[in-house]
Chains A and B, each alone.
Chain A
Amino acid sequence: MLISDLCKRIIPCLDVANGRTVKGVKFQSLRDIGDPVEQAVIYQEQGADELMFLDILASAEGKQTTVKLVAKIANELSIPFTVGGGISTLADACRLLENGADKISVNTAAVLRPELITEIANTFGSQCCVIAIDARSIGPNQWEVLTHGGRKSAGIDAFAWAKQAVELGAGEVLLTSWDKDGTLSGFDLLLTRHFSTLLSVPVIASGGARGPQCFLDVFDKGAADAALAATIFHDGTWTVRSLKKEIEIKGVPIRAC
């Protein structure tokens, strides 16, 4: 029996619009949650294994604000920091990496121009390039890709796209279930398992987290390598620390904090 002590990662996500953290349900009805810099510091202290920052408006005029905010957050962090939202060129990726991001997450722009993945991977390495996929169920074991923050269907199969993205150089997949996002009804286990067992790179499950049992399920039944959550941490239902304790008791390898 070959032993691995690699831990399952718990990743709080900051969805940011106009410099503030926000959260919605199924990508809609956004409400204000707080200051992203303050939250980043708190989540790190609570034992977050990594932090995700998504600029959900990603407007052209907001890009400079985002870069400044990313730099401010990065300066406070000694854990990995992934930034996504509106990254459509290698230059966008460079600017964010120079300002403190460790990884870049691409979504819509990569669907429209898949070479973007290869450009980032070839310049900074695959470990730097996360492909974010918003997937919506369209039948048994079938999901379609949504783009533009869940507003548009790309008309392509989500798993085929994930495979292609990995071949192009993506080093990780951030897999968000549109059906589950913000619903607090648990991760989409079938979706996560399908992707995580068939892809050669780590899969981060996202959408639907409610409490410890959801995480236990997504790591075990869903075979996820990491799980992302926003609402439960923002609302204070769980701290990263209290959540990790519950998961660790059940024998899942977790970085104790």
Chain B
Amino acid sequence: MEVDLIEIGIGNIGSVKRCLDNLGIDFRTVDANNQPDGSRPLILPGVGQFGAVMKALKQNDLDSCLRNLILQGTPYLGICIGLQVLFESSEESKETPGLGLIKGEVVRFQNGKVPQIGWNLVRSKVGQNTERQYAYFVNSFYALPALSSVVSYTANYFGEFCAAIESQNITAVQFHPEKSAEFGMKFLKGWASSVN
């Protein structure tokens, strides 16, 4: 299978590329000058500042392109900031709206050390939690969806937060599957086979 990996020049996405290679998922990179056409599923990975990422996405209207493709049903996987930009707004950058594809906002952790760095226990809202599953997180902000029905995984960091969402053709994770050992590999494989 082949996917379009969205590269906006922010952060370090080498580990995502290596991970896709190891899983046998072919990818081509797309960006503002070489925009996706919806013929392949999309992945937007990375760690970055909300405003800076939205600004980078606005180059050559890549944001409109993505919004349209996702609305038309192109499968999308957002990782970390790729989850947050789906929302309407973020406390990280109040003056910059997000893509607005999922209703709700992104807020900062109020307790504990920020950023949250490390492995946290994730609980599936849809499947069975037969085993304890841990995912690797690096985030200062998390999403608060208006509709709790889009939440597919939750975790606790001095309070419950949204660890992943699932809504029609959109899958998005706050954690880093590419750094989450077996659980992460299983998650990525599962997504890839579901959109193939």
Contact = CB atoms under 8 A, between A and B. Distances in A.
B178 A4 contact: no
A171 B185 CA distance: 26
Chain B interface, DSSP helix/strand/loop, else mixed: mixed
A97 B159 CA distance: 33
Given A79-B181, A172-B117, A100 B14 contact: yes
A102 B179 contact: yes
Interface in B172-190: 178-182, 184-185
Nearest to B120: A6
A3 B158 contact: yes
Nearest to B160: A3
A110 to B, nearest CB: 19
Interface residues of A, number: 36
Given A79-B136, A125-B47, A98 B14 contact: yes
A141 interface: no
A79 B184 CA distance: 10
Given A2-B111, A4-B158, A125-B49, A78 B117 contact: no
Contacts, number: 100
**Range, interface on chain B:** 35 or more
Contacts of B136: 79-80
Contacts of B160: 3
A217 B121 CA distance: 23
Interface in A199-257: 200-202, 225-226, 253, 255-256
B119, B159, B184: residue with the most chain A Cβ atoms closer than 10 Å: B119
A102 B123 CA distance: 26
A100 B18 contact: yes
B73 interface: no
B11 A44 contact: no
B179 A78 contact: yes
Contact of B134 (A7, A81, A102): A7
Contacts of A7: 118-121, 134
Nearest to B122: A5
B12 A5 contact: no
A202 B134 contact: no
B96 interface: no
Contacts of B134: 7, 255-256
Contacts of A6: 112, 116, 118-120, 137, 156-157
A3 B159 CA distance: 6
Contacts of A102: 12, 15, 179
Interface of B: 11-12, 14-15, 18-19, 22, 47-49, 111-121, 132, 134, 136-138, 155-160, 178-182, 184-185
16 contacts: A5-B120, A5-B156, A6-B112, A44-B181, A49-B118, A75-B22, A79-B136, A81-B15, A124-B11, A124-B47, A125-B47, A127-B47, A171-B117, A202-B118, A253-B121, A255-B119
Report the 8 A-B pairs with minimum CB-CB distance, sorted nearest first. Answer: A5-B121, A2-B158, A255-B119, A255-B134, A127-B138, A7-B119, A3-B156, A5-B156
Given A5-B121, A6-B120, 15 more contacts: A3-B160, A5-B157, A7-B118, A7-B121, A78-B178, A78-B184, A78-B185, A79-B136, A80-B136, A100-B15, A125-B47, A127-B115, A128-B47, A171-B117, A253-B121
